[in-house]
Structure 1
Amino acid sequence: MAFTSSGQTSSMSANAATAQSRRSEILRDLLPVALNLAGAQHDAFSARLADALMQQSETSTDSREANLSFNVSNLLKNNSYAFQHLAAAFLKENLQRELGMLERGSYPAAAKTDGALSLVSYEEMDNKLQIGAGSRPFEQQHADAYHALNIRLANLLQRDELSLSQNPFRPEVFLSAINLAWRNFDPDPESHHLVMPLLRPDVFLQLSPLLQALNDALIADGILPDLQESYRIKKTDGHSDATRKDDSAETALLQKLKRMFAAPEAPDDIVAAAATSAAADVFEQRGDSGLRLANMLRADYPGPAPQASGATRQLYGFLADLQQRIADQGFGGDASGTGAVPPHSSRLAEIKGQVPRHALTQFDENTIDLLTKVFDTVFRDTNIPSEIKDLIGLLQIPILKAALIDKEFFFEEAHPARRLIELLSKSSVAWDPTKGYDDPLYQTMKRNVGRVQQEFDREISLFSIVVSDLERFLAEEEEQAAAGVLRTPITEALQREKLAQAHTAAKSEVAQRIGSGEVVPFVETFLEAKWVSVLSLAYSVRDEKPQALQHALQTMDELIWSVKPKISQEQRKELITKLPALLTMVNKWLNVIKWEDADRLRFFSELAECHASIVRAPLELSPQRQLEIAVEAAQKATERRLEKRAQTQQQTVVPDDEFVATVAGLERGAWLEFTPAGDAPKKVKIAWVSPLRSLFIFTTKARQEAFSMSAQQLEQSFRDGHAQRMVLDGLVGRALSEAMEDAAG
């Protein structure tokens, strides 16, 4: 028995050790997930931070701060790879430390005494406070994702709960790493206070996809899969099924792409190696203070820098030569230039045929095939004008080089090069053909495409710069339109919606009071026909005159009270006392809404008779008669209540259909094509949506015409086939999905 017990104990210990090893392995596997997703964003993040610093320089009222912001912005733009490698190194160090503490369950004790606090410098305390304050917007924005991740990590480690302060992937860890990277990137302490306030959610690394991936990784390992939906943020509950389908399709696409690019023949990371070496050389020039940073950067590539294979050099040389020849042709009045092959066609299939076979790896061939599909999709899209397709066609070689350099192009919707294709495609419909090549939108597109065509070599950040320039132009166009042609329609629409909202609230107030069936018929009719208008007016001016609404509601309640039976002398005296002021107030409100016809005299005549009958009714009533009167009143109230309910049920209620959901999903910036009966199709943009989504304002391409439409009218236009949405988003993703389906077939 003793031997058996010992054996069971040994077996249980072995199982526990295996389980612990498995938990540690799952936890360690989260590190590369976070680092890879953060690393893929460093390029775009650096560009956004540089833009924010430049904008700060332009808006600062302090000349010294403006000059400093300008200098560090240029420093970051010119040495972005150095900053990115520092950021990656410090983030890796932070995450490794936090994961280790999480696994061991040991966390640094908080300082509890003044003596302990005195050991911390003022600068360090201020730095911690800034990071803490900067973390809060991220914590609020991603509260659901962090909640789900906390639960899963606690479940993995067999703990009751895990607080956000113990989560290794909390915003503070990322902000701290970037802050350390900057302080080492630019040793000038004067610049340190500039960057931290700029690390806002719109500038910083996007944590949403990173947290999504961490949760998905734990789900894949069987850690509480049923929480999968708890941290996903949906626009409306009605679109949850569509969202799940989209998520499922996107996941399947990513899995197929990962398998496609998992070949071991992927080319050496020449760009990263060269950038690392150059950054290390910059830091070494600082002397002893820069040696540690240089060594940290070179740690990614111990030994000699990797050399490109002969095939890779031959492919890059061919592409560089072809890009230069196209750039040398320049732009004419239009985008086509003077080349024998117009840009409005796919060059990539031709390139694949011209490059010697031994110069292409499987990675290269897959990249060219997928990009061929992407550009073919652009050229087939009838929503994109041919003149804009010509511009996009000029990007084929630079985009190919960018995708060969960074395969995240296929995985990340936010990849700068991918965003450029999407932005050009989506905004192309706004081009005004009547202005031709002189349209400012076309000129902005042409300038940015030309810059990429002529300047792009290996700096992916160039795409971020041109995307920012194009987005800035589009935003300014929107502001000008809002200040011009849209100002009056928006003002009128807001007023109409405010009045409609006031009318709805007024009808609700009246319905609540007459729903009991206790209000006498002629007063009920009066309230529905006229007092709704009074309350609508009072609600519409509630912000300016809140007492007006209170008086209108009080007057209505007193009117209803006045026509109810008064069976005691005290009640009748109260009625006689209040009646003059009540009638005066009712008349004042009716004067405001300008009710002057004979029906007004008839109403007050009936009201006077009602009041007279109440006052003249016998006072001395036996208990039996009082009971009869009460039962009679209750019966009448019940009959009226049932009558109104029957009227409501007879009203035809149109159930929601797919077109209601379609309109509910429309957002500002979407393009629609209207085809009224007998008229030519017209492409219009949703320029404004009212706060309650009851009104939509549209503009034409030239932005010289604006018209509004209610949500119900828009739903009916979709229902009648006179309106349809132009699908302009996600062009690259659709092309990749089609390519994967074709490959599977």
Structure 2
Amino acid sequence: MAPSSADNKASTAIPASRRGEILLELAVLASNTANAQIDGLTTRLSEALLRASASCADPAQARLHFNAASLLKKNRYPFYYVVSERLAAMLKQEVEALANPDFQPVDAGDAPPSLEPDVEIDKKLCLVKASRAIENEHTERMVGLGMRLGALLQRNPLITAENPFRPHIFLSVIHDAWCEFQPDVTAHHIVYPLLGPELCLDMGPLLHALNTALVKLGVMPQLVRKTRGENGAASVEDFEEPEDDVLLPQLRRLFSPSSKSTDKPLSNGFPALFDDDAVIASTARNALLGYLTSFDKSSPDASLAGLLDEINRNAPREGLSDSDANVLELVAKIFEVIQRDPHIAGELKATLLRLQLPVLKAALQQPEFFFKRSHPARRAIDTLIGLCAGWEPEKGVSDPLYLLLVRSIDRIAHEADRRPAVFLDVVSDLDAYRRREETTTVQALKTSIAQRLQDEKMIEARRAARQQVALRIGTGEVVAFVEAFLEDQWVPVLTLAYSVKDEKPQALDHALQTMDDLVWSVKPKITAEERKELLAKLPTIVAGLNKWLDIIRWNDEARVKFFNDLAKCHASIVRSPLELSPERQVQIALALAKQATERRLQRQANAEPERVPDAYDAQVQALEQGAWVDIGREDRTRRLRLGWVSPLRNLYIFGTRERQEALSMTAEEFAQALREGRAHIVPGAGLIGQALAEALGIDLGNSANSDSAGDKSAA
């Protein structure tokens, strides 16, 4: 299975100097996607260790597993930190090695202690077995990612062993993180036997995110594979079908084999070509195609308006298959929807009617036109419709876009009968025009884009900061005034630290460590050693807090009150009675656990419910650069082009036809404008999906642009 050179056209537009940057961006995306799952993984791992403890026949091993589970439950945040840091470093190393075969990893000196030789061998076998189980579970996504990474780097598709995002990497990171986290060397061997599909990071959403990111960059939007039929002839078929296309089931039923199907197998083993029904259907189709050639292609546009209706009424019906009748009806519906679309100028609508016969013939000969967005004729129509939305009559018929559209339609109308490859030629020309326009737009918006990139960096920094704080206070174990302090003051501190992470990684480490030390310092200390450690660390903790609070300029009275409350809390911890009996220690632990549970439940009750993404959010996320959007209400709208989308799709810049910035919006603002009717996405290529849905009686509702999202990647 390998992509052809035609399949790789999208990736050739990416210069070699940019490929390494894309791989690093993918590593960050994978790391961020995985980080959201680490907390759940920690819970599952601690529960698995407890179950293993209960099933151990050896009391020593049972105690070892039990203590490991307890350690993990009490210190889930440090474990999160170790896993996330190790995973980020490992993925970065893997993609750098992929981009540069001569890359030599730098020994960071923080490798976990090695296991005994026989245990090390057992570990490797366990991880390989677990990796293969996960790979089998996600075969298609793994294969697709390997093909796209190969296309990005202009190589053959990557095998699993070459893929920097293979499951073995994630399993190894979990094991190594455990060894770094667990101070007891004798417990290092107890985790790897537990790892597998049920105890790993979920590779499904991670692989989906990576494939989606590459598709949005134009790398193999439609995966294909080469196959050979029984006669040895090579053919190409879709490797991926849209998972969310609600039209496919009904389309399949519409074109499913019937009693007169040419696909009905014969009991005597002869090819279907010699079946009587097949001969009748083939003769009827040839008669229909011959009937279509009787129409004069040079007919004036006025006579083309009812062309398909006339064909539908007068086409030879004797022996005509249901499939051919369905093709006639669906193609007529497509052009009906095109003609009533308000976003296409009347001059272009009349010209588009010249495509009726070429499209009808292509669909009759290959009904895959309706199923596969990658079909050459469908891609050509989609691309033309998408570009038609960008031309308005006031631009004049001498406008370069208008001339390109008319020239492309003329080529199809005159050449499609004798040279079907004209559809792909037209797509290639239109794609080249679109890429030139996008490149010119990006250059014109260079200053605005630089500012928005900085804005997105801060958005992501704040998101990461909130996540880190939420991890610490989510259990309800942090006292109320420290919890409020972390949410109100430490989120800005971490936001700043994350924003300079690339230049000053030690700053983020210090900010996180200071927060962890603060959280630790306000927890009960029931032994003299713990209190001695607290008194020794307090000056450093307070100094770290003050340093960061000075940087964010928090200097009001609330700061004085916080440190007063912190001092009182520390004093109460140090002065509480020592030498507690075991029974009293258990009572205190239970009381603290109950308090923590109540606080956690109270937080959950008071928290605003997280908004579930809806169809408008999906439209915004699917929208690609170059799409047209009408902003405003009723007669006060203006049509703007989406000139740039930020790498993480948080920010959108809309420009005028003259490539000047007109509007900048966040993804949330854009989705809200769509909900309120203040913005409307020009359907463009989505019209074919809309037409098919109307013909099949399917209400796409707010997902009407879903076809557009998929088709723009092909256009």
TM class by smaller structure: 0.5 to 0.7
* Counterparts of 1:349 and 1:666, CA distance in 2: 35
Note if 1:459 corresponds to 2:459: no
Partner of 2:435: 475
Partner of 2:467: 508
- On the 8 A contact 1:266/1:361 being kept in 2, the answer is yes
Q: Cα distance, 1:658 vs. partner?
A: 4.5
* Counterparts of 2:634 and 2:412, CA distance in 1: 44
- On the 8 A contact 1:398/1:456 being kept in 2, the answer is yes
The residue identity in structure 1 corresponding to 2:342 is T
* Counterparts of 1:690 and 1:380, CA distance in 2: 34
The residue identity in structure 1 corresponding to 2:559 is R
Higher helix share: 1
* Counterparts of 2:401 and 2:258, CA distance in 1: 34
1:223-259 per-position Cα deviation (integer Å, ceiling 9, x unaligned): xxxxxxxx97666xxx5xxx4x422112123238996
Q: Are residues 526 and 400 of structure 1, via their aligned partners in 2, closer, same or farther at CA, if it must alter by over 3 Å?
A: closer
Partner of 2:256: 255
Q: Cα distance, 1:210 vs. partner?
A: 10
- Match of 2:349, SS state, is helix
* Counterparts of 1:525 and 1:497, CA distance in 2: 26
Q: Which one of 546, 563, 580 corresponds to residue 587 of structure 1? A: 546
Q: Which one of 402, 427, 431 corresponds to residue 387 of structure 2? A: 427
Partner of 2:354: 394
Q: Cα distance, 1:581 vs. partner?
A: 3.3
1:587-627 per-position Cα deviation (integer Å, ceiling 9, x unaligned): 22112212222333343344455556666x488x5646x97
Q: Are residues 248 and 312 of structure 1, via their aligned partners in 2, closer, same or farther at CA, if it must alter by over 3 Å?
A: closer
Q: Cα distance, 1:527 vs. partner?
A: 2.5
- Match of 2:665, SS state, is strand
The residue identity in structure 2 corresponding to 1:250 is L
Q: Are residues 535 and 343 of structure 1, via their aligned partners in 2, closer, same or farther at CA, if it must alter by over 3 Å?
A: farther
* Counterparts of 1:480 and 1:725, CA distance in 2: 22
Alignment of 1:288-327 (within 5 A): 316=293, 318-319=294-295, 322-323=296-297, 325=298
Partner of 2:53: none
Q: Cα distance, 1:343 vs. partner?
A: 7.2
1:119-172 per-position Cα deviation (integer Å, ceiling 9, x unaligned): xxxxxxxxxxxxxx846579999xxxxxxxxxxxxxxxxxxxxxxxxxxxxxxx
* Counterparts of 2:223 and 2:607, CA distance in 1: 54
1:648-668 per-position Cα deviation (integer Å, ceiling 9, x unaligned): 303342663744664476332
1:339-374 per-position Cα deviation (integer Å, ceiling 9, x unaligned): 4x4377344556889x9x999995899577765444
Note if 1:645 corresponds to 2:601: yes
Alignment of 1:309-348 (within 5 A): 316=293, 318-319=294-295, 322-323=296-297, 325=298, 339=300, 341-342=301-302, 345-348=305-308
Alignment of 1:156-305 (within 5 A): 206-207=224-225, 239=244, 243=245, 245-255=246-256, 264=279
Mind listing any 5+ residue stretches in structure 1 that lack a counterpart? 1-37, 39-44, 60-132, 142-199, 212-230, 271-307, 327-338
* Counterparts of 2:340 and 2:592, CA distance in 1: 70
The residue identity in structure 2 corresponding to 1:466 is V
1:717-741 per-position Cα deviation (integer Å, ceiling 9, x unaligned): 3443444554443545655676688
Q: Which one of 711, 717, 722 corresponds to residue 673 of structure 2? A: 717
Over the residues paired in the alignment, what is the CA RMSD in angstroms?
A: 5.2
Partner of 1:87: none
- On the 8 A contact 2:616/2:675 being kept in 1, the answer is no
* Counterparts of 1:259 and 1:684, CA distance in 2: 51
- Match of 2:247, SS state, is helix
Q: Are residues 635 and 345 of structure 1, via their aligned partners in 2, closer, same or farther at CA, if it must alter by over 3 Å?
A: same
- Match of 2:554, SS state, is coil
Note if 1:666 corresponds to 2:625: no
Q: Are residues 721 and 259 of structure 1, via their aligned partners in 2, closer, same or farther at CA, if it must alter by over 3 Å?
A: farther
- On the 8 A contact 2:631/2:640 being kept in 1, the answer is no
The residue identity in structure 1 corresponding to 2:607 is Q
Partner of 1:19: none
- On the 8 A contact 2:389/2:628 being kept in 1, the answer is no
Note if 1:527 corresponds to 2:478: no
- On the 8 A contact 2:382/2:685 being kept in 1, the answer is yes
- On the 8 A contact 1:269/1:405 being kept in 2, the answer is no
Compute the TM-score of the two structures, normalised by the length of structure 2. Answer: 0.54
1:394-425 per-position Cα deviation (integer Å, ceiling 9, x unaligned): 33455456567767656765443333222212
The residue identity in structure 2 corresponding to 1:546 is P
Which has the higher Rg, Structure 1 or Structure 2?
1
**Percent of aligned positions with the same letter in both sequences?**
36
* Counterparts of 2:329 and 2:476, CA distance in 1: 73
1:512-560 per-position Cα deviation (integer Å, ceiling 9, x unaligned): 4345555444433332321222122222222332221211122223334
Compute the TM-score of the two structures, normalised by the length of structure 1. Answer: 0.52
The residue identity in structure 1 corresponding to 2:253 is A
Partner of 2:335: 375
* Counterparts of 2:457 and 2:547, CA distance in 1: 23
- On the 8 A contact 2:247/2:693 being kept in 1, the answer is no
- Match of 2:622, SS state, is coil
Partner of 2:396: 436
Note if 1:656 corresponds to 2:612: yes
* Counterparts of 2:654 and 2:485, CA distance in 1: 39
- On the 8 A contact 1:409/1:418 being kept in 2, the answer is yes
- On the 8 A contact 2:408/2:426 being kept in 1, the answer is yes
Q: Cα distance, 1:206 vs. partner?
A: 3.0
Partner of 2:663: 707
The residue identity in structure 2 corresponding to 1:540 is S
* Counterparts of 2:686 and 2:227, CA distance in 1: 17
Q: Are residues 670 and 526 of structure 1, via their aligned partners in 2, closer, same or farther at CA, if it must alter by over 3 Å?
A: same
- On the 8 A contact 1:254/1:411 being kept in 2, the answer is no
* Counterparts of 1:404 and 1:251, CA distance in 2: 15
Mind listing any 5+ residue stretches in structure 2 that lack a counterpart? 17-154, 164-217, 230-238, 263-276, 699-715
* Counterparts of 1:631 and 1:361, CA distance in 2: 87
- Match of 1:709, SS state, is strand
* Counterparts of 1:704 and 1:528, CA distance in 2: 39
- Match of 1:207, SS state, is strand
Partner of 1:552: 511
Partner of 2:562: 603
Q: Cα distance, 1:493 vs. partner?
A: 4.0
The residue identity in structure 2 corresponding to 1:424 is L
1:305-345 per-position Cα deviation (integer Å, ceiling 9, x unaligned): xxx99x987864x44xx33x56xxxxxxxxxxxx4x43773
- Match of 1:390, SS state, is helix
- Match of 2:389, SS state, is helix
* Counterparts of 2:528 and 2:370, CA distance in 1: 86
- Match of 2:255, SS state, is helix
- Match of 2:562, SS state, is helix
- On the 8 A contact 1:555/1:582 being kept in 2, the answer is yes
Q: Are residues 571 and 267 of structure 1, via their aligned partners in 2, closer, same or farther at CA, if it must alter by over 3 Å?
A: closer
